[in-house]
Amino acid sequence: MTKKTKNKYNHYTEDFRREAVRRSDLPGASAVEVARELGIHPGQIYNWRRQYKRLSDKQFNTVNGVDYSQDESEEIRKLKRQISDLKEENEFLKKATAYFSKEKW
């Protein structure tokens, strides 16, 4: 586990964060104990755990081999937009078909 330091703020690698969360989730271990061992604040582990569960764009991009990165999210948003457009077009065509199928008086 590697810890990077830059200026007066600490920046941790993704592997370091993953390992800290994994170790705090082990039976018989607590976030406070793991934080003390690693020399970080216990609240940091709780934050990383929350981020891990939410799978934010900048951290923890892959879980169990599944890629949750920005590229995947962008493609999903694009496909959802396309589905929405097609549904709207389908509704329009239904209304147009009903209008033109009416008998003229």
CA nearest neighbour of 52 among 42, 43, 62: 62
> Is it the case that residue 71 has pLDDT exceeding 70?
no
Reported residue count of the chain is 105
Rounded to whole angstroms, the Cα distance separating 75 from 88 reads: 20
| Residue 75 burial (C-beta neighbours within 10 Å; 0-12, 13-18, 19+) | exposed
pTM: 0.46
Of residues 98 and 51, more confidently modeled: 98
Tokens read off for 71: 């590229």
- Identify the pLDDT of residue 48: 87
Residue 29 phi/psi, 5° resolution? -115, 150
- Identify the pLDDT of residue 29: 86
